[in-house]
Amino acid sequence: MRVIDSHVHFPEDKIIDDGIERDEKTRRNGIGYSSGNTNKSAEMLKPHQAWLRAEKGRWESAWRFPEPVAVSKEQGESLWLAEFEKYPYLEKVVFVTAGSNQFASELAERNPGRFIGYAHHDPMLKDAPDRLEKAVKVQKLRGYKLLGPKVEKPLSDPFFNPLWETAQDLQIPVLIHFGIMGAAGGIASHINMNPMAIHDVAKRFPDIPFIIPHFGTGYLFEVLNLCWACPNVYIDTSGSNQWMRWMPYEVSLEILFRKFRETIGPTRIIFGTDSSWFPRGFSEKYLDEQNRAMSYVGFSDDEKDMVLYRNIAGLLKIQGN
């Protein structure tokens, strides 16, 4: 087995995974409301806070990960380098976020055989296309990460055409999170929540590889249709995929791998973990679950290698894949 983890967040001085940072804001402000809540309002919200804590506890109990701790940038870099010694099959990790494009660039430059960085900046900025061009041509980043529900214009709006044109000219993958954001209490409704928000863009810019993480985060029917209609759309497998629990019909990793393999084949499925904090580090438990699911639904060793390594290696133009 050889593995490229295509979806990792660098742990820069704070805990950002699985709603932990959001949960701390919840604790301070009362379920995400402003800190100006009256005592009466805060009192009324206590039952909701208890439910959020219970849901967070359920996730922690299910996976039995260690308690997260904040680490500095220097510590984070050293800890990630140590993960390669711990997991010899892990060849590279792709930091889809690392605080800033500049730091992502420096991180990758210091560790060219191990780390790959993506650009991650606000697409609403007037100079967003120029920033992306600089990120790739000067800072040597290899892709672009967006959070759909954080963008206040529809992604199909002509406003973004210069950005998509730049991404297509640069021949880089664009990874866009759709679906629910955060753990329990997160965002569930937004103009860019549904992966179909990218349908017209994917049609207009057929040479951009669009990657949709977490199997579409609940939008299973939509993302399967999108992948069927747009051969430049890929999916990644990252995270605990706990959204499967609240679907109105039975969903499992086996079902997901089987459905996507039947619909688009194994060449557009990309492995990731959504790892981000320590001491958990690289989430081998997610790899084990996904490897088991692929085995049970009949993926060959060659098909597994596509998912775990070759598909993302091809998109990122990694030599010798």
Same domain, 40 and 150: no
Residue 201 lies inside a defined structural domain of this protein: yes
Residue 94 lies in a domain: yes
* Bridge pairing between strands 174-177 and 144-147: parallel
Regarding whether 107 and 38 lie in a shared domain, the answer is no
| Helices within 101-212 (DSSP H only) | 101-110, 128-137, 161-170, 199-204
Query: Do residue 135 and residue 106 come from a single domain?
Result: yes
The per-residue pLDDT for 320 is: 73
CA dihedral 224, 226, 229, 235 (to 10 degrees): -70
Q: Report whether pLDDT(32) > 50.
A: no
Same domain, 189 and 270: yes
Average pLDDT value for the chain: 89
Higher pLDDT, 183 or 210: 210
Question: Can you give the CATH number for the domain in which 125 is found?
Answer: 3.20.20.140
320 occurs within a structural domain: no
Q: Residues 206, 92: one domain?
A: yes
Query: What pLDDT is recorded for position 280?
Result: 95
Rounded average pLDDT over 193-198: 96
Residue 27 falls inside a structural domain = yes
How many Cβ atoms sit within 10 Å of the Cβ of residue 182? 17
Report the pLDDT value the prediction gives residue 321, as an integer from 0 to 100.
67
Q: How confident is the model at residue 31 (pLDDT cuts 50, 70, 90)?
A: very low
pLDDT > 80? residue 33: no
The whole domain housing 226 covers 3-15+72-315
Judgement on whether residues 135 and 241 belong to the same structural domain of the protein: yes
Does 84 fall in a domain?
yes
Same domain, yes or no: 138 and 186: yes
pLDDT at residue 309 in the model:
98
Q: Give the orientation angle of helix 220-229 with respect to helix 253-264, to 10 degrees.
A: 20
Does 163 lie in the same domain as 47? no
Inform me whether the pLDDT recorded for 292 exceeds 50: yes
In terms of C-beta distances under 8 Å and separation of at least 24 residues, what long-range contacts does 244-248 make, across chains too?
246/218, 247/218, 247/220
- Cα separation, 291 vs 307, in Å, equals 10
Q: Kindly state whether residue 321 falls inside one of the protein's structural domains.
A: no
Q: Which of 64-68, 216-220, 238-242, 308-312 has the lowest mean pLDDT?
A: 64-68
Q: Is residue 289 part of a domain?
A: yes
- The per-residue pLDDT for range 59-75, each reduced to its tens digit, is 888 888 888 888 999 99
**Which pTM does this prediction carry?**
0.89
Q: Do 59 and 205 share a domain, yes or no?
A: no
For the ranges 26-35, 125-134, 159-168, the lowest mean pLDDT is seen at 26-35
Number of domains in the chain: 2
Question: pLDDT digit string (tens) for 77-116?
Answer: 999 999 999 999 999 999 999 999 999 999 999 999 999 9
Rounded to an integer, the average pLDDT of 260-264 is 97
- Residue environment code for 221-248, b if the CB has 16+ CB neighbours within 10 A, otherwise e: ebbbebbeebebbbbbbbbbbbbbeeee
pLDDT attached to residue 78: 97
Q: Is residue 196 part of a domain?
A: yes
Residues 207 and 108 in one domain: yes
- Give the confidence band of 302 by pLDDT, cuts at 50, 70, 90: very high
pLDDT for 45 beyond 90: no
Q: Identify whether residues 145 and 275 lie together within a single domain.
A: yes
**Mind listing the pLDDT tens digit for each residue in 229-241?**
999 999 999 999 9
Same structural domain, 263 and 139: yes
